[in-house]
Amino acid sequence: MDEQTPLSPRQADSELDALCASIKRLSEKVQTVREAVKDLSRNRVQLEDKIEDAQKRIQHILSRLPEQSDGRQLNLLGEVVAPPTPEDGNEPTTH
């Protein structure tokens, strides 16, 4: 078996200082990762809300579409559109 040689107090302090510095660096990195994960989670919730809102708007627009057999002009914006009348300038012009 290998026997470990005891460290001098100066070597032990030096290794302990290095170990403490490593632990501090790792703790800082873990905190940075935690904050990044928190930000990503918050962003994900916001994007999910935006997607849900867009799906609702699309569904609303789709619900306003006329049946396929309906020959009227589509009005997806909800503006009132008067039906075309024969007096709307559809008469042939003579030149």
pLDDT digits (tens, 9 = 90+) for 7-66: 788 888 889 999 999 999 999 999 999 999 999 999 999 999 999 999 999 999 988 887
Q: Which two tokens stand for residue 17?
A: 């200082």
Q: Tell me the per-residue pLDDT of 59-95, one tens digit each, with 9 for 90 and over.
A: 999 888 877 666 666 555 666 656 666 555 555 555 5
Amino acid at position 33, single letter: V
C-alpha triplet 24, 16, 33: angle, nearest 5°: 15
The pLDDT value given to residue 33? 98
Nearest Cα residue to 64 out of 74, 73, 55, 49: 74
The pLDDT value given to residue 90? 56
